[in-house]
Amino acid sequence: MQTETINTTVLIADEGKILTDGEVYGRTIYLAKNRSPEEFHEITEAEYEEIQKQYEAEADNI
């Protein structure tokens, strides 16, 4: 994971990884002022795909 600051803290996932705080997922995160990088961690793309499949299954059950 790389971190750079442009008046805003930006988290950029390493190649093949996705960032998440357990709620939202993304390759690049522009952090709100009241949040810290420690709230986010990386998961693999495969793990992300699996989570998305679970969300799709939940959406189909509406």
Partner 1 sequence: MAKNNNLGDFLKSLADKFRSKLGTTIKINPQDFESKVDEVYNKGKKEEYDTFWDNYQQNGNRTNYIYAFAYGGWNAETFKPKYDLTVQLGYCENMFVYANIAGSLKTILNDCGVKLTFFQQAGREYGARYVFVGTKFTEIPELDCSQAKGDQAIASLFSDSKLIQTIEKLIMPTDCTGYGKNTFYGCYALENIDFGGTIKYSLSFQHCPLSADSVYNILNHLDTEGYTGTRTITLKTTSKNAYQGKYSNWDEKISQLTTSGNWTFTLT
Least distance to partner 1 from the beta carbon of 21, Å?
A: 8
* Calpha distance 48→62 (Å, rounded): 22
Least distance to partner 1 from the beta carbon of 51, Å?
A: 12
Q: Does 22 bind partner 1 (CB under 8 A)?
A: no
Q: Does 57 bind partner 1 (CB under 8 A)?
A: no
> Which residues lie closer than 8 Å to 45 by C-beta, 6 or more apart?
16, 17, 18
Can you read off the two tokens belonging to residue 10?
A: 């930006």
Q: Please give the residue ranges that form the binding site for partner 1 (CB under 8 A).
A: 6-8, 19, 23-35, 55-56, 59-60, 62
